[in-house]
Amino acid sequence: MVSKIFLFLLATTLLASPPSWYVKNNIKCDSCEYIGYGEGSSQEVAKKVAKADIANSLQTTINVSSELKRSSKNDDYNESFKHNIKESSTISLDGLELLTRAYVDGIYYVAMKYINLPFAKKVRMKFDDVSKIQRETNSYLKSTLLLNELKAEFGFYPKVTISKGNLTIANKSFRIKKDILKKLFSSYDSKDLELNIPKNLKNGEFYFVDINTKSAGYLTLIQVYENGETAVLFSNKKVTKNTKLEYPNKDIYNGLQTYLTKNQTKAKDLTMAIICKDKKGFDYFDNISITKDKYAKVYGKIFDMIDGCSVSSQVMKIGR
């Protein structure tokens, strides 16, 4: 009887033993700034616990409570693992990567890595050889904060494409969110046209857009909002040199009106006046302008279309 009890306890101990790297927290990773460890009844739960471990190191506000129960009855070994995780982090932990994982007796163990670096530095780290990366020629993009941050890391303006919430350089894609999108907002003056709008307005105020062309072509007026939504105010309007235009028509309308959602205390809108030698397919945006969930997916298409055109832009700050 004593030997049976000893064997049962030994088996229980072996079953409950997690991997040594998890117990010692000693995974080596030269490229990792933070490593988080987690366990759970599923790999997804374990990853969330590891994320909370990293968040704790960054002093964010992800709260994790855990309960691990082990019991034995009639020679049966039972184990249950519960997690209650609430996330309210002020830091977006994008780019978390799984380092290693293990599954031991119904429990998942993971180690996740996180590099807490600016977006441009994270992008640069993914390239060992930058000699074959194409150079960006889009004048507007080269004026933006994002492209200048990338230039500081690469030593040149890398050719970028933006589509469906991703920024791509040389076939490598990087997820971008609102904070990165806003770095594509730039006040830029072209020699071919002047754009004038107020720089600061309160929510609900009306205003007009004044444009003065310095060359002939096809004129388009676009607004882009910080969540990626895009509105074409008018497109491919044929203009001559020294055309003066006010939008909307003051004799008919009160003007454009600023708007903040209930959850917003402030926002930035980007207004772009674009003059091209030939007509461009800006009507593409009009076709989906009533479907808000599709706006952000085509946001980057604007930059492909304006390449080779002259652009003047202005960032407007809206507050309450």
Per-residue pLDDT of 175-210, as tens digits, reads 887 788 889 999 999 999 999 999 999 999 999 999
pLDDT computed for residue 194 by the predictor: 96
Helix, strand or coil, per DSSP, at residue 90:
coil
d(CA 120, CA 130): 14
pLDDT computed for residue 168 by the predictor: 93
Higher pLDDT, 70 or 31: 31
Task: Determine the Cα angle at 148 with ends 118 and 155, to 5°.
Answer: 90
d(CA 56, CA 167): 29
d(CA 133, CA 181): 22
d(CA 5, CA 114): 45
Closest CA to 310 of 136, 159, 182, 188: 188
pLDDT computed for residue 87 by the predictor: 45
The H or E element spanning position 71 is strand 62-73
DSSP character at residue 215: S
Instruction: Burial-class residue 2 by CB neighbours within 10 Å (0-12, 13-18, 19+).
Output: exposed
The values of phi and psi at residue 308, to 5°, are: 95, -10
Mean pLDDT of 148-158: 97
What are the structural domain ranges in the chain? Answer: 2-114, 119-181, 185-319
Helix, strand or coil, per DSSP, at residue 291:
coil
CATH 2.60.40.2550 assigned to domain 185-319? The reply is yes
Mean pLDDT highest for which of 80-84, 145-149, 159-163, 281-285?
145-149
| pLDDT > 50? residue 304 | yes
Asked if residue 29 lies in contact with residue 36, where contact means CB atoms within 8 angstroms, the answer is no
HSE-up of 166 (CA within 13 Å, CB side)? 10
129: left (phi over 0), alpha (psi -120 to 50) or beta: beta
Higher pLDDT, 190 or 85: 190
* pLDDT tens sequence across 261-285: 888 899 999 999 999 999 988 876 6
d(CA 179, CA 226): 9
d(CA 175, CA 162): 10
Least-confidence region, from 4-18, 162-176, 182-196? 4-18
Q: What average pLDDT does the structure give for the chain?
A: 80
Q: Got the DSSP string for 151-211?
A: HHHHSS-B--EEETTEEEETTEEEE--HHHHGGG---B-BTTEEEE--SEEETT-EE-EEE
* pLDDT tens sequence across 216-235: 999 999 998 887 778 889 99
d(CA 177, CA 255): 31
67 beta partners: 82
d(CA 95, CA 121): 12
| pLDDT > 90? residue 69 | no
pLDDT exceeding 90 applies to what percent of the chain?
A: 45
Per-residue pLDDT band for 18 (boundaries 50, 70, 90) equals confident
| pLDDT > 90? residue 29 | no
Q: What distance lies between CA 233 and its chain's CA centroid?
A: 26
| pLDDT > 60? residue 2 | no
Instruction: Burial-class residue 77 by CB neighbours within 10 Å (0-12, 13-18, 19+).
Output: middle
| pLDDT > 50? residue 89 | no
The H or E element spanning position 220 is strand 217-225
Per-residue pLDDT band for 16 (boundaries 50, 70, 90) equals low
pLDDT computed for residue 182 by the predictor: 85
**Structure tokens belonging to residue 187:** 């006040």
Q: Work out whether the CA dihedral 182, 184, 185, 187 comes out positive or negative.
A: positive
Helix, strand or coil, per DSSP, at residue 241:
coil
- pTM for this prediction: 0.66
Mean pLDDT highest for which of 35-39, 122-126, 228-232, 313-317?
313-317
Task: Determine the Cα angle at 189 with ends 184 and 192, to 5°.
Answer: 125
pLDDT exceeding 70 applies to what percent of the chain?
A: 76
pLDDT computed for residue 9 by the predictor: 42
| pLDDT > 50? residue 61 | no
Higher pLDDT, 214 or 6: 214
